[in-house]
Amino acid sequence: MRRLVLAVMLAGCVSAPRPLDVDGMVKAKGLVIARQDLEVRALDEPRDIQVHLALAKLADQTKRPSQAIAALETVLRIGGPLGTRWHAEDRARFARLLAARGRIRLDRGAASALEDLTRAKSYGAAIDATELDRARAAVALAKLRHVDAKERAAGQRMLAQLSGSSIADPTWLGAKSQPVPRDRGEWGMWLWERGAKRAAFEALRDWQRTTSVKGGPLHDAYLRALSWWTPYDLPPPAGTDIAGPERCRFAGACRASDVLDDPAASAALLAAPMSSRDDDAAAWLSLSLGPALRGEAGWGEAAAIRIDLPTLSPGSLPPYARSAGARLAGKRESGVPDSELASLTPQQRLVVAAGRALDGGSSAQVRVALGSLAGSPEGIALLRILDPAPPVPLVDPFAVALTAHLRARRLDAIPLSALLDAYSRNPSRADILAADVVAEAPDDAVAQAALGAMFDVLEDPARARAAWQGAVDASPEPAFLAGLAESMARANDPDAAMIQATAAAAAHGDPAVIWVSVSRALDALGKHVHALEAARSAIDLAGPETIGPALDAAISASRALGRDAQVLALTERRRQVPTPVRVDRGTDDPTDAVAALAANKRTPGVLNIARMWVASRWNPRDVSIRAELLDSIAPDDPRRATLVTELVALAADPDVSLARAALAALR
């Protein structure tokens, strides 16, 4: 009898409380007031399970899935002596909402999808085995991007276990402990394409050590990864087989004139460390034109890395390069006449056409020089310098640009116009709306990240930090970790920023990228010691793409600290890096945006505005000169619409710092 009584008592303890009459509350007060009443009661009575279950039901009915999940998570935390005190309906609701959120996270490759889907299945949701395998693969890739060797090894084991599954990529066979060399190499290429650079290098190094194959795509991939791993000022290890187009990534391995007809080798050479100066100026003029037309640097700026432009004698150049070389050096020289164009190679005709554009030639003259190249990406870009695309009429350029900025980062799932309007009236109104945005989001992590990015652009570091923290708490993805680290820096909390940057860099796959961004943010706020520490970490971990920005960040912080000897030493190291340095070179180069800006600041006026306009055409991704032009030209100047359209496009640039600068110029 005692046992029966005890069992009845225990059953009463774990049974779910009688549900509140949600429908009656809604009927009496309306949806919004009923929900608000429940929210207040949940705050006043945080352990009242009835309230949380009612709030979850009402939130689910009113399409506020994240709020419903949060309420049900609270019920789980409160628990009971023998389990969760909820009804079958509540359990099914939780399973359904978790499954939906997990699938959203799975679609973007978030490692947190696995936990959501696993939990959803445990609560009764129908989760396909394929979905769970895909989620495990996402976890494995996240581990393979990690800086910790044990994490990478765990990720490799996970992929090896999945290599026989229905979702497996054929290259995953290379994750096994003793694969054939080719499988290991192809797996390394797969890792590199997905940003797991350290793991990719290790896999490709294993391939190289166990194969007798010479040349080919795998060898090219190995050399590319090796150049990333090798300190930029050191040669490759002794005995390395330097062959194929990627050999040109190493100092002294190639000459410019030897790779003009090989796009892969040309791209590799442009990234190679500086060695002795290559005296083939015409070849370097040709090679540096491509990056200039893609907006990676001004043409003169890019050419000056390899050519001593101030001492260049245009007469020493072959005829096709004389006009262009002369103008970049601040001089004048005749170009190739139309009658001699037929004897030139396509690359040489592109240089001739660019020289005509530099020298003030018309679109028709440039088009004749281009010939069949007029329809190529390079030809189109060159013609755009002379005839910019027609501007797009925009009512609110900043809002359009911010939308594009968020969309490019897959963070556009928020009602941006309403949020901006609320923020402009009173930031507290935006807080209320932002809370609703998060509650209504099927995945609160993305909503929080979008809000963090928005508040970053609005230069509200406190709100940005809170939102990014919410995103990380919900789903600690590398992009969210990076956003939080930078927001902490901008919120003037350098110690927290450095701690968070360590976690973000560890998870990123290419840690120097994170350290450069954090260093820049700290330096801008005057936290130069912390900025220098971050820059040093970036230098230690940098590959060819990040060593230039890493050194630039260190130089800026060192200069601010008055460490002149350190600035000189870092500057000397910077000279060996092939990425352009943004300095006024003091020549009459139409492509020199820095010199044009400086001239306008010294002597504002129509002539220098015209000079800036020309320089802006040759530097399609230069935000600073566009911002200065907007400040300098008249409100009714027809060029304003073109500049605004270009800045809106730049707001979606993959370079986040450049995109944020474009948004600041439009604000």
Q: Provide the residue ranges of all domains of the chain, joining segments of one domain with +.
A: 2-131, 132-229, 277-386, 582-667
Name the pLDDT band for 239 (thresholds 50, 70, 90). Answer: confident
pLDDT, residue 8, reads: 37
pLDDT, residue 587, reads: 76
Mean pLDDT for the stretch of residues 393-407: 95
pLDDT, residue 14, reads: 52
CB 616 within 8 A of CB 593: yes
Find which of 22-26, 51-55, 644-648 is predicted with most confidence, using mean pLDDT.
644-648
**For residue 205, pLDDT beyond 60:** yes
550-602 pLDDT, tens digit per residue, is: 999 999 999 999 999 999 999 989 988 887 777 667 778 999 999 999 999 99
pLDDT, residue 536, reads: 97
Mean pLDDT for the stretch of residues 472-487: 96
Q: Which two tokens stand for residue 430?
A: 């935006």
**For residue 499, pLDDT beyond 80:** yes
Mean pLDDT for the stretch of residues 383-408: 94
221-234 pLDDT, tens digit per residue, is: 999 999 999 988 78
pLDDT, residue 167, reads: 96
pLDDT, residue 11, reads: 41
153-201 pLDDT, tens digit per residue, is: 999 999 999 999 999 999 999 999 999 999 999 999 999 999 999 999 9
Look at the alpha carbons of 618, 621, 622, 627 in this order and tell me if their dihedral is positive or negative.
positive
Task: List own/partner pairs for 261-264 with CB under 8 A and 24 or more apart.
Answer: 261/345, 261/347, 264/220
CB 405 within 8 A of CB 651: yes
User: Rounded to 5 degrees, what angle do the CA atoms 233, 238, 240 make?
Assistant: 95
Mean pLDDT for the stretch of residues 45-68: 92
pLDDT, residue 12, reads: 39
Name the pLDDT band for 276 (thresholds 50, 70, 90). Answer: low
**For residue 7, pLDDT beyond 50:** no
Average pLDDT, the chain: 92
What percent of the chain shows pLDDT beyond 70? 96
Mean pLDDT for the stretch of residues 64-70: 96
Q: Collect all residues with Cβ–Cβ distance below 8 Å to 648 and sequence separation of at least 6.
A: 392, 394, 397, 400, 401, 404, 662, 666
2-131, CATH topology level = 1.25.40
Task: List own/partner pairs for 385-392 with CB under 8 A and 24 or more apart.
Answer: 385/357, 385/617, 385/618, 386/357, 386/362, 386/617, 387/363, 388/617, 388/642, 388/646, 389/642, 389/645, 391/641, 391/642, 391/644, 391/645, 392/645, 392/648
pLDDT, residue 63, reads: 95
| The residue type at 101 | R
Look at the alpha carbons of 318, 322, 325, 330 in this order and tell me if their dihedral is positive or negative.
positive
